Amino acid sequence: MKELFREADSAIVGHMKSILDNEGIATVIRNEHLYMAALSEVPIPEFFPALNVIHDEDYPRALQVLKEYLEKSRANAGKVNEEVICPSCGEANPGNFEVCWSCESQLAPTEE
Ligand SMILES: [Zn+2]
């Protein structure tokens, strides 16, 4: 058993576990209930939920999967935050919009 990472938010740890489950990597969360029991106290990283691979040989692959996942979600977040200015009315639109929210004209030339 080898620890991948620990995080105060057990929802994030659980999400990462399900991603690794989908890749067929066996994992276990340690401290999950320990931390819940200590919620009223000052959070101590020692007690944060920790995601572990059960088989040490899965460790490099698990890290790679998590790294790719984080890079992908960061790239998606960047796309959404980027604003596109409408060429016909000048309003700013979120980068993932294809049509202007204000005047409904086409925002970006379709990539072909
Ligand atoms: Zn517009």
* pLDDT (tens digit per residue) in 78-110: 665 678 889 999 999 887 788 999 999 998 665
Residue 55 C-alpha to ligand 1 middle, in angstroms?
54
Residue 10 C-alpha to ligand 1 middle, in angstroms?
42
* pLDDT (tens digit per residue) in 50-82: 999 999 999 999 999 999 998 888 777 666 567
Task: Give me the CATH code for the 2-81 domain, please.
Answer: 3.30.70
Residue 72 C-alpha to ligand 1 middle, in angstroms?
29
Q: Phi first, then psi: give them for residue 84, nearest 5 degrees.
A: -115, 130
What confidence score (pLDDT) does residue 103 get? 96
Residue 84 C-alpha to ligand 1 middle, in angstroms?
10
Residue 19 C-alpha to ligand 1 middle, in angstroms?
39
Q: Where are the alpha helices (DSSP H) in the chain?
A: 10-22, 32-37, 59-81
Residue 73 C-alpha to ligand 1 middle, in angstroms?
28
Distance, CA of 2 to chain centre = 21
- What is residue 106's DSSP assignment? B
* pLDDT (tens digit per residue) in 9-23: 888 899 999 999 999
Domain residue ranges in the chain:
2-81, 82-112
